[in-house]
Amino acid sequence: MRARVLVRPKAGILDPQGQAVERALPALGFAGVVNVHVGRLIELDVEDASQLPAMCEKLLANPLIEDYEILEHAAVGADSR
């Protein structure tokens, strides 16, 4: 099964990368953009999708500083490789 894991900085933790992008957009003429956060996308094929949460807890994310969201095949959509 193809899965995607979205990892993002936990709410409330300063995200200077997101802030830098947020500041860059108006400089390019894109107005009205707020709450920019930069995270990580991990794509993987797994035989047993039930292992995904444990993979996230143990390696793919650091739960102290990051939230993760697992998107399995159906939600990944037709563009998945």
Partner 1 sequence: MKFGVVRFPGSCDEVDAQLAASRAGGTVLLWHGDRDLQGVDAVIVPGGFSYGDYLRAGAIARFSPVMGSVRRFAHDGGLVLGICNGFQVLCEAGLLPGALLPNVGLRFLCRQVDCTVVNAGTPFTCACGEGDRLSIPVKHTTGRFYAPDEVLEGMEAHGQIVLRYAPGCNPNGSVRDIAGVANPEGNVFGLMPHPEHAVDLLTGSRDGLVVFQSMRDHTGGAVAA
Q: Which residues bind partner 1 (CB under 8 A)?
A: 13-14, 16-17, 20, 59-60, 62, 64-65
Residue 17 or 80: the one with the smaller Cβ distance to partner 1 is: 17
Residue 65 or 77: the one with the smaller Cβ distance to partner 1 is: 65
Q: 57 vs 1, 53, 68, 69, 75, CA distance in Å? A: 19, 6, 9, 11, 21
Q: What's the rounded Cα separation, in Å, for the pair 81 and 3?
A: 10
The CB-of-75 to partner 1 minimum distance in angstroms stands at: 23
The CB-of-79 to partner 1 minimum distance in angstroms stands at: 24
Q: 33 vs 12, 16, 21, CA distance in Å? A: 18, 16, 10
Residue 39 or 49: the one with the smaller Cβ distance to partner 1 is: 39
The CB-of-16 to partner 1 minimum distance in angstroms stands at: 5
- Alpha-carbon radius of gyration of the chain: 15
